[in-house]
Structure 1
Amino acid sequence: MERQRAQFGPWEVECLPDDGARVSVLRFEGLDLLTSRPEAFVPRPDRGRFETREAYGYDDCFPTVDACRYPVDPPFDIPDHGELLWLPWQVRAESDRLVCSVAGELLPVTFTRTMVFSPCRIEWR
């Protein structure tokens, strides 16, 4: 799986474009700020689709957290935790930011997450 890594001063970030642009690593001055990938993971077959994914890092949930029917005519299903974490994203590092974007397949939207890094904070846009 492709891993996009970037360093912004004291910040280190790793993103997985093909895994919904999951932020898999976020470190400040070497300190891990996110839950790391589990060493062993056995998904339970009686759980929903989201529960078959390893739970670690950071994901964006859009347009919903729970699986649901989207209220249009005709209605359609939105998966558990939305559709974005199931899609491959475009990821690019710029001078002070990491920009991740994806076009929805179920809804006509383009979602962009921009993480702007400064010496002592991150701004999520």
Structure 2
Amino acid sequence: MTTTVKMWNGCRSYTWSTGTPDKCFYQDLQAFVLRPYGYTGAIDGVMGNGSWKALQRMLNAGGWNAGTVDGVPGYQTKTALQRMLRAHSYKGAIDGVLGAGTYKAWANYVLGAQN
């Protein structure tokens, strides 16, 4: 079976393999994951207040307890993201530090959300 990966405007991210977030990763996140959770901003690859609010809504809707939807990527938001990713492919610590392992798992989650 062949999986078709959608790309926002033809931009291809390699975050899934490098663990380093790039503009294309954030564009895909905004376009394919955050839109259903109220993100209405530009698909510009910048994780601003609106992107973080949508992510917090998504995490809270899934029961991951990101706390108050305030658009601030604090410890509670980051650990909620890591707990959600642990349910998918993340194997690292739940420590609120968004390192390479977190970004690789997050990128794989975004890839899965596109299909």
Could you tell me the TM-score, scaled by structure 1's length? Answer: 0.28
More relative contact order, 1 or 2 (CA 8 Å, 6+ apart)? 2
Higher CA-based Rg: 1
Could you tell me the TM-score, scaled by structure 2's length? Answer: 0.29
Q: Which has the higher helix share?
A: 2
